[in-house]
Structure 1
Amino acid sequence: MTTTDPYTQLRADHTAGHLDNIIVALPDLQGRLQGSRLAIPHFLNEAATDGFTACTYLLATDVDMNTGPGYTIDAWNTGFGDFLLKPDPTTYTTLPWDDATALVIADAHWPDGTPVPIAPRHILQTQLNRLATHGLTAHAGTELEFLTFTETYDQAHTAHYHNLRPATRHTIDYALQGTSHLEPMLRRIRREMTTAGLTLETARAEVHPGQYEIVFRYAEAMTTADHTALFKHGAKHIAAQEGHAITFMPKYDEGEGNSCHIHLSLRGTNGEAILADPTAPDGMSHLMRHFIAGQLAALPDFTLLMAPNINSYKRLQPGAFAPTGITWGRDNRTCPIRVIGHGHSLRIEHRVPGGDTNPYLALAATIAAGLHGIENQLPLPAPHTTNALTDPNVPRLPSTLTEALHHWETSELATKTFGDTITTHYAQAARTELAAFERATTDWERQRGFERL
């Protein structure tokens, strides 16, 4: 019996002298790609099949790579041991922005071969497996926004990220002028992401000065999460090479924030569209109605998986043109759950996640919420047809990380859906973020109190 070598192209490119290293990358709690560069012969002879070791703390740190007790992986008290990264050959690609370099995304396993349950990729796969038991698959797309500045990353860091100059002078939403000086960078991002295997659909200027959005075609949900992580990784590299700094943070200043809207639809195992029902007055099947109802029911408890940081909630505030309530609407951008499309393209757009969201966790939460609605046949309330941002009768989303953490920690649904290990681990991640913020003295405090208090 013969098997196809998934790394045939890697062998050929290495032999031809086009590639000399491969990155084995693990998505961490923040959705960032962490890992090591391996010599290609070493990867092909050993790591591709046997895996590659990495320190367990990679899945138990905050954004500053600080770890400590409280996580279910307690690296401090267990000697900073290793787990095994097993590359997924379906994720293999070359990186046009990184000379002579390929990349493959890996899954974390314990030495005995069992998956590490708190790994974001495993959490998403678990929910996809649950979908499969219902004869369903998920397709998703993400819309990522970012702000571009005239400064380099080094200059921005030296300035403590203060008073940076957006790369355009004014609001450029849908503008076809005023962005020509950004085209060298933007063109590289569009072109090189396509070369890396992503399928570009649209790109346009957004509302905030210097803001841009690039949308790639939907794919199977795990592929979309992998592509979203790769896009953020690569876009920052390209921006740095072009002398710009970009940020995906949800709320850089008092202007419009960066979102990561998630479009999601379900298919049957043979690929048929099952959300649409042309005989229904609203065009939606009963399954879709339950799926949306599940989003609304689970949203307070699952918000933490979509908005994981202090800054996430600066975007989810009144007047920020981001959702603040728990409701749904047909083509209503003021609702967190927007239903758009028709027929085969009928889908939900989840508008809660910001540019800092971990795409694996956000997709897992969306799928899990939908399954909650399907399995319990939850009824769907009437759609919201007016501005949900200003309607006082709409139930509110958690408005702070503290509130989201409380919902998550006390949620029977979260524990039932994800298990004690995952709920405890991600609660600690939120507590670590809160503790870091509470120890910091902000510019706002200095400005308010230095002289007048």
Structure 2
Amino acid sequence: MTDPYERLRAEAEAGRVEEVVVAVPDLQGRLMGSRLSVPYFLEEAARGGFGACVYLLATDVEMDTGPGYAIDAWDSGFGDFVLRPDPATLRTVLPWDEGTALVLADAVWPAGPGGGHGPGHGPEHGPEPVAVAPRHVLRTQLDRLAARGLTAYAGTELEFLLFTASYREAWERRYTGLRPAARYNTDYSLQGLEEVEPVARRIRRAMTRAGLRMETARGECHPGQYEIVFRYDEAMATCDNHVLFKDGAKRIAAAEGASLTFMPKFDEGEGNSCHVHLSLRGTDGTPVLADPSAGDGMSELMRHFIAGQLACLPDLALLMAPNVNSYKRLQPGAFAPTGIAWGRDNRTCPIRVVGSGPSLRIEHRVPGGDANPYLAVAAAVAAGLYGIDNRLPLPPEHTANALADPAVPRLPATLTEALHRWEGSGIAAELFGKETVAHYARAARAELSAFERAVTDWERVRGFERL
């Protein structure tokens, strides 16, 4: 078998790669890790892994940790788990970081003496995965699919807002009074993007050089908003590409003296979405969602798969909309889903059926730009399996405006509501396990606690003089 790291060795010997970043996606989908010299990586970390503090998978956005997570960093003395590189994710070209390669890693508990942070450790046991790590949460659901002879393919459509100010300037201005890189709605427009294109073009070309396969790119509705769509792939590979894209896009914007945000709702204008396209194939590559002989073109398996999405959406919304700001996007009139319904090519529904024949798939429209892709895709796969395993019947499709129909059941309207649904859900516990449910409930509580302590600009404008 060919050594998966021979390409890295060759690039290093040619003087094109000097360092390797070993990174793990955290609870927010951000890349956390360390830079290693190529010799050290090849001689030690590539096979044996690399230590990193356990708190990396038990923090909020501010990197604060505490009790209540499945990983209690304080109780364990801020020890290490092991980042085990996944050679399938190796990239020897990062156009925004010259001379650097990157490999994503899975977090595992160290085996043997001193490796007592997780269950079942000792000389007779090998390393066990950290169950709450986002990549492992997704892998668990993909393994459940594989046990049924199925493979998931996914694509994510990320939008961002681009501003002319640098990140430093935006920080010092408390992110107020920023000038978007376009003056008006540029949805599908080929003009008005003069200040967007230099950054967007560099991002597109850099991502292509890094191995992502771009499909389309265009301006969007909010001034300065832009969307780049990459080719679908197996679900794990798509999520790995997603986190690399977000990390690289921000760094490219910074290098251009600009800034961009993926936050779901920056202001009262259109929000940033992350629509997730999802289809299933047999392990031999045969599409299984379409049935040309059926009147609606959908196989029985697909009907159960969609029904599972609808049944599980309220309980699993937390994995797709994990922050306070997520629910500012999921509001009436915001052109984002608020109800629970499905429809063919109906963008007012959270579950939109698109394509035909081999390309038949669902588009999940709930996640925003802040979604952790591993968790969002895991939630969609788990919900679909719930529908398949329980042979749930598919309700009639919604052909009208689901956003304005009072008869359509509602999604959770706030993070608090989503947390209560997730934490009290027998479905969530069945699909993800009690440990994972408790861990991500603690993450939601950390987000809510930080928000409830904050005094916002809205409160000052509303109350400084008039209350």
TM interval, short-chain normalised: over 0.9
2:426 counterpart of 1:427:
no
Aligned-partner Cα distance in 1 for 2:335–2:458? 23
Cα distance in 2, alignment partners of residues 254 and 433 from structure 1: 21
**Could you tell me whether the CA contact under 8 Å between 2:96 and 2:251 is conserved in 1?**
yes
Q: Decide which of 280, 303, 317 is 2:317's aligned counterpart.
A: 303
SS in 1 for 2:128: coil
- Are 1:259 and 2:273 an aligned pair? yes
Q: Give the structure 2 partner of residue 183 of structure 1.
A: 197
SS of the residue corresponding to residue 196 of structure 2 reads helix
How many aligned positions are there? 451
Counterpart for residue 414 of structure 1: 428
State whether structure 2 residue 290 is matched by structure 1 residue 276: yes
CA distance in 1, matches of 2:238, 2:393: 29
Task: Compute the displacement of 1:182 (Å).
Answer: 2.2
Aligned to 1:217: 231
| Structure 1 stretches lacking a partner, 5+ long | none
| Residue 166 (structure 1) aligned with residue 199 (structure 2) | no
Cα distance in 2 between the residues matched to 1:391 and 1:421:
37
2:98: which partner in 1? 99
Q: Residue 192 of structure 1 corresponds to which residue in structure 2?
A: 206
Q: Cα distance, 1:187 vs. partner?
A: 1.1
Name the structure 1 match of 2:61.
63
Question: Any idea what SS the aligned residue of 1:6 has?
Answer: coil
One-letter identity of the residue aligned with 1:254: E
Give the aligned partner of residue 116 of structure 2. Answer: none
Q: Is the 8 A contact 2:196 2:224 kept in 1?
A: no
Match for 1:117: what amino acid? A
| 1:399-410 to 2 correspondences below 5 Å | 399-410=413-424
- Segments of 4+ in structure 1 off by > 3 A? none
Q: CA deviation at 1:353?
A: 0.1
Distance, in Å, in 2 between the alignment partners of 1:197 and 1:18 is 17
Which residue identity does 2:379 align to in structure 1?
A
1:114-141 CA distance string (max 9 Å, x none): 0000000000000000001111000000
Letter in 1 for 2:61: V
How far apart are the structure 2 equivalents of 1:436 and 1:421?
23
SS at match of 2:15: coil
Letter matched to residue 102 of structure 1: A
1:77 to partner: Cα distance:
1.8
Q: CA RMSD in A?
A: 0.6
AA matched with 1:411 = S
Q: CA deviation at 1:181?
A: 2.9
Correspondence 1:355 to 2:353: no
Match of 1:313 in 2: 327
Question: Which residue number in structure 2 is paired with residue 245 of structure 1?
Answer: 259
Indicate whether 1:378 and 2:407 are aligned: no
Mapped to 2, the partners of 1:63 and 1:283 lie a distance apart of: 44
Q: Could you tell me how far apart the structure 2 residues matched to 1:335 and 1:182 are?
A: 30
Which residue is 1:205 aligned to? 219
SS for the counterpart of 2:82 is strand
- Aligned amino acid, residue 293 of structure 2: T
1:96 alignment partner AA? P
Secondary structure of the corresponding residue to residue 53 of structure 1: strand
Q: CA deviation at 1:421?
A: 0.6
Assess if the C-alpha contact under 8 Å between 2:162 and 2:260 holds in 1: yes
Q: CA deviation at 1:430?
A: 0.2
In 2, Cα distance between equivalents of 1:391 and 1:164: 36
Q: Aligned partners of 2:222, 2:466: CA distance in 1, in Å?
A: 33
Q: Distance in 1 between matches of 2:415 and 2:95?
A: 37
Deviation, 1:391, is 0.3
Matches within 5 A, 1:33-52: 33-52=31-50
Deviation, 1:102, is 0.4
Q: What TM-score, normalized to structure 1?
A: 0.99
Task: Identify which of 5, 8, 18 aligns with 1:7.
Answer: 5
TM-score, normalised by the number of residues in structure 2: 0.96
Q: What's the offset of the Cα at 1:180?
A: 2.6
- Looking at structure 2, the residues matched to 150 and 241 of structure 1 have their Cα atoms a distance apart, in angstroms, of 12
Deviation at residue 185 of structure 1 after TM alignment: 1.2
The Cα of 1:447 is off from its aligned counterpart by 1.1
| In structure 1, distance between residues paired with 2:201 and 2:193 | 11
Q: Secondary structure at the match of 2:103?
A: strand
The CA distance in 2 between the partners of 1:350 and 1:182, in whole Å, is 27
CA distance in 1, matches of 2:196, 2:386: 44
Give the conservation status (yes or no) of the 8 Å contact 2:155–2:233: yes
Distance in structure 2 (CA, Å) of the matches to 1:78 and 1:100: 36
Secondary structure of the residue aligned to 1:305 is helix
Instruction: Tell me by how many angstroms 1:275 deviates.
Output: 0.4
Q: Which residue of 2 aligns with 1:234?
A: 248
Deviations along 1:356-396, one digit per CA (max 9) or x if unpaired, are 00000000000000000000000000000000000000000
- Listed one character per residue, the Cα deviations across residues 421-440 of structure 1 (whole Å, up to 9, x for unaligned) are 10000000000000000111
Report the 3-state secondary structure (helix = DSSP H, G, I; strand = E; otherwise coil) of the residue aligned with 2:294. Answer: coil
CA separation in 2, counterparts of 1:208 and 1:183? 15
Equivalent pair of 2:57/2:133 in contact (CA under 8 Å): yes
Structure 2 equivalent of residue 27 of structure 1: 25
Moved more, 178-187 or 328-337: 178-187
Cα separation, 1, equivalents of 2:379 and 2:262 = 21
Letter in 2 for 1:97: W
Instruction: Note if contact 2:320-2:371 (Cα within 8 Å) is conserved in structure 1.
Output: yes
Which secondary structure state, in structure 1, belongs to the residue aligned with residue 295 of structure 2? coil
Partners of 2:346 and 2:193 in 1: CA distance: 29
